[in-house]
């Protein structure tokens, strides 16, 4: 019996078991999950842990400065978006006001320096406010601003009366696609350019594939309105100055 047990154990350990009347069955290892898809989707939007301002994951625009001479144009919608994902949580906060134009509140003060690697210095004379969202998130006020200059659109975020983010978006021209959890998702679907920014901390998801998983729908089109808001239907396009 001892000899039979050792033989059987040795065959199991080497990946082979005996099934039925002595038939050998080869064991195969289970396929490994795709890390960038399943592990990311298992986390809620409010708890995604991603690198913030990592130079290797930034696109080429991250080195932009305020003297860049490219011009910004209005984003044109692509083909219709695919189905809406119901698995993403809606926005954890509320939008209390949307202001179009330069009369909205300033999210960042004059002289505020953007996060690396761009190191852009904010100045109201160089960055024109074109759209502003204000609201409450986790009982504290926030301001989400969009600015425009010759380099394109920039984002400014203030949470609980402190500036937490200033910098370029995922492309020179982009749209507001979704609010989910504590995140706002920006993107230009036709260029596969996406970015998600946490409104409470300023943390970013700049990997386009990961950020696209938070946009709330499939396809390369634009939704008819910003997703994730229960009572408001704001346009996705950011006005130009």
Q: What is the pLDDT of residues 17-73, one digit of tens each?
A: 333 434 343 433 444 433 333 333 333 344 443 333 333 333 444 544 433 333 333
* Residue 100 to residues 133, 134, 145, 234, Cα–Cα distance (Å): 9, 12, 10, 11
Q: What is the pLDDT of residue 192?
A: 95
> Is 184 exposed, middle or buried (CB count within 10 Å of its CB: 0-12, 13-18, 19+)?
buried
pLDDT, tens digit (0-9, with 9 covering 90-100), for 124-156: 999 999 999 999 999 999 999 999 999 999 999
Helices (H), 29-151: 40-41
Mean pLDDT of the chain: 76
Map tokens 């960055």 to a residue.
Answer: 127
> For residues 103 and 227, what is the distance between their CA atoms, to the nearest angstrom?
25
pLDDT, tens digit (0-9, with 9 covering 90-100), for 229-241: 988 899 999 998 6
> For residues 146 and 148, what is the distance between their CA atoms, to the nearest angstrom?
7
> For residues 38 and 122, what is the distance between their CA atoms, to the nearest angstrom?
38
Q: What is the pLDDT of residue 86?
A: 60
Nearest to 203 by CA among 45, 91, 64: 45
CA 70 to chain CA centroid, Å, is 25
């Amino acid at each position: 019996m001892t000899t039979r047990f050792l033989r059987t154990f040795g065959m199991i350990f080497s990946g082979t078991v005996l099934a039925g009347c002595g038939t050998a069955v080869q064991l195969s290892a289970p396929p490994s999950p795709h890390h960038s898809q399943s592990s990311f989707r298992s986390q809620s939007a409010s708890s995604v842990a991603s690198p913030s301002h990592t130079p290797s994951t930034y696109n080429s625009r991250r080195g932009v400065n305020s003297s860049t001479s490219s011009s910004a144009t209005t984003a044109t919608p692509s083909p219709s978006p695919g189905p809406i994902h119901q698995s993403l949580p809606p926005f954890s906060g509320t939008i209390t006001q949307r202001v179009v134009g330069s009369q909205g509140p300033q999210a960042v003060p004059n002289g505020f320096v953007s996060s690396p690697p761009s190191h852009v210095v904010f100045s109201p004379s160089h960055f024109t406010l074109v759209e502003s969202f204000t609201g409450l998130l986790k009982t504290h006020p926030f301001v989400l601003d969009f600015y425009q200059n010759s380099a394109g659109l920039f984002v400014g975020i203030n949470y609980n009366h402190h500036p937490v983010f200033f910098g370029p978006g995922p492309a020179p021209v982009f749209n507001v696609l979704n609010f989910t959890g504590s995140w706002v998702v920006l993107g230009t679907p036709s260029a596969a350019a996406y970015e998600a920014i946490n409104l409470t901390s300023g943390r970013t998801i700049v990997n386009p594939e990961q950020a696209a998983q938070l946009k709330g729908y499939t396809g390369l089109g634009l939704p008819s309105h910003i997703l994730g808001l229960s009572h408001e239907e704001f346009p996705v396009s950011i006005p130009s100055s």
